[in-house]
Amino acid sequence: MRTAYTADQIRGAEHTLMARLPEGTLMQRAAAGLAAVCADLLGHVYGRRVVLLVGSGDNGGDALYAGQRLARRGARVGAVLAGSKTHEAGLRALLEAGGRVVGADEIGAADLILDGLVGIGASGALREPYARLAEAANAAPGRVVAVDVPSGVDASSGRVEGAAVRAAVTVTMGAYKTGLLVDPGAEFAGRVELVDIGLGAYVPDPDVVALGHEDVARLLPRPGAESDKYRRGVLGVAAGSHLYTGAAVLAVGGALRAGAGMVRYAGAEEPVAQVRAHWPEAVITVLDRPSIDEVGRVQAWVLGPGLGTGERAHDLAASVLASDVPVLIDADGLTIVAKDRELLRRTAPVLLTPHAGELARLTGAERADIEAARLEHVRAAAAELGVTVLLKGSTTLIAGPSGQARVNVTGSSWLATGGTGDVLSGVAGALLAQGLSCYDAAACGAYVHGLAGRLAADGAPLAAADVATAVPAAIRAVTSGSAYGEKLGER
């Protein structure tokens, strides 16, 4: 499990720890870890060119002391002093070790560029000359390492409001910052390396959590000796239409592959024929009218993929949401409830799985604003609607109505193709039917779905059906505890 914190939380923990240590101890710990990561990236240090981008704050001091350590090992280290002031002791240490002060024109010749322009307390767009230096670092051929957080990325939210350093590696101190796990900030952070500086006992409850293999394995339902198909969870699926038969096939397939004991599919004749042909295991009900009265008892519902948004679809959605079991709402179901939010007034749990455009319709926010501040908007939507929200996208976020939030660290860009969201609905719906809460079903479903996408793609294009097929292998990778499975889970 990765726990991540806001800038205020980290500063509070640092303040408490620094009061117990000799002055400068934390900076030296940070610099030692930073220099070690840089040395590993360089391969051999002697003779390599390193340029430090040094701002006015403690990040600049970290960079200077790390540069001192690299210079002692024979690196040619130059510091671009960008701030209105410079950490004097750090600069003196660098110069005594053989480093020097250089101009920005040396950035392009560096083997490694160390970004110490601004730290976790910065917010908003970078000012000059920082913005210009960030762009120069991004354009340079050398590898870029960010100190704590890439300059231009808001450490607490992941917002990027202008120029920002795009790092190959971010070396973060003490604890993960929320903005390193949440896009757009996560995209700029590259690989994140955590340096332990002793904050562990002083950090509060995390702002955001990213589950790992062990966490998901602990939450995933497993059949016991007394299990039967009913005890393993019966999922109802209300999806598909004469125009979108494939959505029903994919949602049912995701549910069956994720371990539902039984899937009851309810739909019109056209998708019924396709589901029956692909999944003879499913129990089929042809709906002559938009009601689930004849479907039979289920433990949860998936509502919406490919359903359509007309009057008949609305009435079917109302019938499903009038039930007393958890309901996952996706795709067309989200459009329906966006137009009629009264449908969400129910006592049983609800899980919404929108992308940014669908969340915009639900809340009235602009899509661009949601993309720029994903965590803020998913939390606000969950609180406003009183439901759990899984916001799909480059980083999948899950928020509960009380403000708790998780970020999913699995997945693949190859998953950005039609139908994969329908598979996710089936996977998460199956976990709901097996007894997980909406919050846990969303997080575990996203994690397994992301792993399945990686397995199915294996570096090449995939189709949504490939993801459904790979779900059992993804679950096996999670529950086996293998090193291969852990590697798949790494971002």
Pairing outcome for strands 176-177 and 49-54: unpaired
User: pLDDT of 36-94, one tens digit each?
Assistant: 999 999 999 999 999 999 999 999 999 999 999 999 999 999 999 999 999 999 999 99
User: H or E element: which one contains 208?
Assistant: strand 208-210
Domain termination residue (choose one: 185, 208, 231): 208
Does residue 342 share a domain with residue 233?
yes
Does residue 470 share a domain with residue 333?
yes
Percent of the chain with pLDDT over 90: 92
Residue 328 near residue 389 (C-beta atoms within 8 A): no
Binding residues for AMP: 392-396, 421
Does residue 466 share a domain with residue 443?
yes
Does residue 398 share a domain with residue 252?
yes
**Token match 């086996």: residue?**
480
Domain termination residue (choose one: 161, 186, 208): 208
**Token match 């003879």: residue?**
280
pTM (2 d.p.): 0.93
Bridge partners of residue 208, in order along the sequence:
4
In which order are the strands placed within the sheet that holds 397-399?
A: 176-177, 2-5, 208-210, 405-407, 397-399, 388-391, 350-352, 327-329, 300-303, 234-238, 262-267, 283-286
**Token match 């117990």: residue?**
20
Does residue 251 share a domain with residue 371?
yes
**Token match 């056209």: residue?**
270
The CATH number that applies at residue 329 is 3.40.1190.20
Nearest to 337 by CA among 348, 345, 347, 326: 345
Does residue 156 share a domain with residue 223?
no
Between CA 236 and CA 252 the distance in angstroms is 9
Does residue 73 share a domain with residue 59?
yes
Residues whose CB falls within 8 Å of the CB of residue 36, separated by 6 or more in sequence, listed in order? none
What angle is formed at CA 480 by the lines to CA 475 and CA 481, rounded to 5 degrees?
115
Domain termination residue (choose one: 208, 236, 256): 208
Binding residues for K(+): 59, 115, 151
User: H or E element: which one contains 399?
Assistant: strand 397-399
CA separation, residue 121 to residues 3, 115, 156, 349 (Å): 19, 15, 9, 38
Between CA 459 and CA 225 the distance in angstroms is 39
pLDDT score, position 185: 96
SS3 112: strand
pLDDT score, position 491: 52
Does residue 363 share a domain with residue 239?
yes
Find the domain containing 84 and state its range: 2-208
SS3 153: strand
The CATH number that applies at residue 115 is 3.40.50.10260
Between CA 125 and CA 369 the distance in angstroms is 16
Binding residues for (6S)-NADPHX: 58-62, 119-125, 130, 148, 247, 306, 355, 422
| Cα of 14 vs its chain's centroid, Å | 26
What angle is formed at CA 236 by the lines to CA 233 and CA 237, rounded to 5 degrees?
130
385 C-beta neighbours (distance < 10 Å), count: 18
Residue 300 near residue 427 (C-beta atoms within 8 A): no
* pLDDT by residue, tens only, the chain of 491 residues: 999 999 999 999 999 999 999 999 999 999 999 999 999 999 999 999 999 999 999 999 999 999 999 999 999 999 999 999 999 999 999 999 999 999 999 999 999 999 999 999 898 999 999 999 999 999 999 999 999 999 999 999 999 999 999 999 999 999 999 999 999 999 999 999 999 999 999 999 999 999 999 999 999 998 776 666 777 799 999 999 999 999 999 999 999 999 999 999 999 999 999 999 999 999 999 999 999 999 999 999 999 999 999 999 999 999 999 999 999 999 999 999 999 999 999 999 999 999 999 999 999 999 999 999 999 999 999 999 999 999 999 899 999 999 999 999 998 888 989 999 999 999 999 999 999 999 999 999 999 999 999 999 988 899 999 999 999 999 999 998 755 555 555 55
323 C-beta neighbours (distance < 10 Å), count: 18
pLDDT score, position 16: 95
Nearest to 426 by CA among 198, 242, 235: 235
Give the CB-side neighbour count of residue 69, counting CA atoms within 13 A.
18
Binding residues: 58-62, 115, 119-125, 130, 148, 151, 247, 306, 355, 392-396, 421-422
pLDDT score, position 459: 84
Does residue 171 share a domain with residue 261?
no
**Token match 């971002």: residue?**
491
CA separation, residue 242 to residues 118, 267, 289, 332, 419 (Å): 55, 9, 15, 14, 16
Does residue 89 share a domain with residue 11?
yes
pLDDT score, position 469: 97
Does residue 294 share a domain with residue 195?
no
Between CA 459 and CA 230 the distance in angstroms is 38
Residue 223 main-chain phi, psi, to 5 deg: -70, 145
Total tally of structural domains belonging to the chain: 2
Which amino acid appears at position 58 of this protein? Answer: D
**Token match 């998708």: residue?**
271
Does residue 257 share a domain with residue 170?
no
Residues whose CB falls within 8 Å of the CB of residue 21, separated by 6 or more in sequence, listed in order? 198
**Terminal alpha carbon distance of the chain:** 13
